[in-house]
Structure 1
Amino acid sequence: MGHLDHAAFGWLTPVLSYLMACVGAALGLRCTVRALATTGRSRRNWLVTAASAIGTGIWTMHFVAMLGFRVSGTDIRYNVPLTILSLLVAMVVVCAGVFAVGYSRDRTRALLLGGLTTGIGVASMHYLGMAAVRLHGDVRYDPVLVGVSVLIAVVAATAALWAGLNIKSPLAVTVASLVMGAAVSSMHYTGMFAVSVRVHPSGETLPGATAMQFIFPLAVGLGSYLFITSAFVALSPTADEREASASAQRPVESIAR
């Protein structure tokens, strides 16, 4: 059996991946709050931004954590198409969950259905990402821990969607996103502890890209997207602020007349 190291760089990758998950969750919740305050195209755009932020945050969390994954006795490579597919899955399922909640008449049913869909999607993203791993050996999973990780994903997703519907204040959004980040991280590491590897040492070159060639630039790019979008959302006025500035301009116009 190969020895598995989940944090080859010490605390760097777990902490950084947790922060990524938190930023994605905070931005997603903020956009959902905005979406529910508007209608029509504006609502749709905010919901798409929310879904892409949460999906990107979860995916970046997973692969930043994977930068610290090592197995003694073998190199690790990543299958590029499967890794990109896992990112698309994360985006699409989170989008489905967010839209189910954003447009539904029956909130409770939408929440349960959206949470289930999104949770299973997040778990699929994780295990697709794991299926993209190439190494010299056989990868096995502990079915009980896999089941627990899927359950954590469903509970976390449902909690995130509930928070998106019920939380308005910035402090509450911050707390909710810290909890959400912890849930996503615990799902990831539970899934990782389910893994065991039987190494077959070999001198053959593995197919695929190294983490630094492929995942690192992609994670940096998506991380930058998250932070830039966060800044944009934080600086764009809310509906209330727009209303306030419009009403402040009205008396000035009447005086000018």
Structure 2
Amino acid sequence: MDTPMIVESSHNVILVALSFLVAVFGSFTSLQLMRGIRTDDGKSKIGWILGAACALGGGAIWTMHFIGMIAYESSMEVGYDPLLTFASLAIAIAVVAAGIFMLSKNPKSIPILLIAGVITGLGVASMHYAGMEAMIMAADMSYDTTLFSLSIVIAVVAATAALWLAFNLEGGWQMFGASILMGVAVCGMHYTGMASMTMTMNHEVIAIESSIEPLTLGLFIFCFSMMLLVLSLIVTLSQLQKRMYEELEDDDDDERIDTIKPQTA
């Protein structure tokens, strides 16, 4: 009976660093977008929620996850199932949007925070493992139960903390510090999940189409995501500044009216 051969693997340090950077910047962008949610009760609130979900779920979480997947290096050629890969992206954005929407209804409610955190965290974990199942290679995948469970706990705790921070932070430096912590948490969940995985060769013949080098693909995804996040951040800050000026003008108008009324009485 043949002894199963474990696939030796490592990670590309450059891509790991890029995955952390995009996780931090995506988190910072999402926190800025969520400032709009807290101050908007109109129809545009849904737009803020979707924008924040795309920045956090798509930018900070999924992009970090996919670059982290590309950073995985082994002696075997690896491909990715496009359907499962894009499904994992949709899951990430959907569960983050659901969590933000739930908490936006009552930001001070601890029970709602916990429920939203669990739903979002389990969704993020589902995204992660769906993305890992998208890997195409001549090997069978198995997981260490302890590390697998730990990764899910990290996902739930990180999601709950992220939602709480989103509705309770104001200062720029606070948001920057929180973004670093969120980036560490997102990367911690991903690489804990990766550490739980063991690949065992199955000697199947799998046709994998030749593709771009992992480092090149990772750099492209990183630059493209960062460009979208920067544009989102610019638009967000300009909209928040515009709203601030409008509120100041409204306050000035109210003061003028209050000053004129006694004189005309």
Q: TM-score range by the shorter chain?
A: 0.7 to 0.9
Q: SS of the residue aligned with 2:7?
A: coil
The residue that corresponds to 2:73 in the other structure is: 70
**Given the two structures, how large is their TM-score scaled by the length of structure 2?**
0.85
The residue that corresponds to 1:197 in the other structure is: 199
Q: 1:88 to 1:204 in 2, by over 3 A?
A: closer
The residue that corresponds to 1:255 in the other structure is: none
Letter aligned with residue 122 of structure 1? V
Q: Is contact 1:32–1:165 with CA below 8 Å preserved after alignment?
A: yes
The separation in 1 between residues aligned to 2:83 and 2:211, in whole angstroms, is 11
Summarize the alignment of residues 127-166 of structure 1 with structure 2, pairs less than 5 Å apart: 127-166=129-168
The separation in 1 between residues aligned to 2:66 and 2:207, in whole angstroms, is 22
The Cα of 1:244 is off from its aligned counterpart by 2.1
The Cα of 1:71 is off from its aligned counterpart by 1.8
The Cα of 1:35 is off from its aligned counterpart by 0.9
The Cα of 1:206 is off from its aligned counterpart by 3.0
The Cα of 1:191 is off from its aligned counterpart by 0.3
State the structure with more CA Rg.
2
Q: SS of the residue aligned with 2:142?
A: strand
The separation in 2 between residues aligned to 1:22 and 1:32, in whole angstroms, is 15
The residue that corresponds to 2:123 in the other structure is: 121
The residue that corresponds to 1:241 in the other structure is: 245
Which ranges of 4 or more aligned residues in structure 1 deviate by more than 6 Å?
207-211, 213-216, 248-252
Summarize the alignment of residues 106-117 of structure 1 with structure 2, pairs less than 5 Å apart: 107-117=109-119
RMSD: 2.5
Q: 1:89 to 1:108 in 2, by over 3 A?
A: same
Q: Is contact 1:82–1:128 with CA below 8 Å preserved after alignment?
A: yes
- Structure 1 unaligned blocks of 5 or more: 253-257
**Given the two structures, how large is their TM-score scaled by the length of structure 1?**
0.87
The separation in 2 between residues aligned to 1:214 and 1:202, in whole angstroms, is 26
Q: 1:204 to 1:47 in 2, by over 3 A?
A: closer
Q: Is contact 1:24–1:226 with CA below 8 Å preserved after alignment?
A: yes
The separation in 2 between residues aligned to 1:232 and 1:89, in whole angstroms, is 25
Q: SS of the residue aligned with 1:166?
A: coil
The Cα of 1:220 is off from its aligned counterpart by 4.2
The residue that corresponds to 2:262 in the other structure is: none
The separation in 2 between residues aligned to 1:153 and 1:225, in whole angstroms, is 25
Q: Is contact 2:80–2:134 with CA below 8 Å preserved after alignment?
A: yes
Matched, 1:222 2:211: no
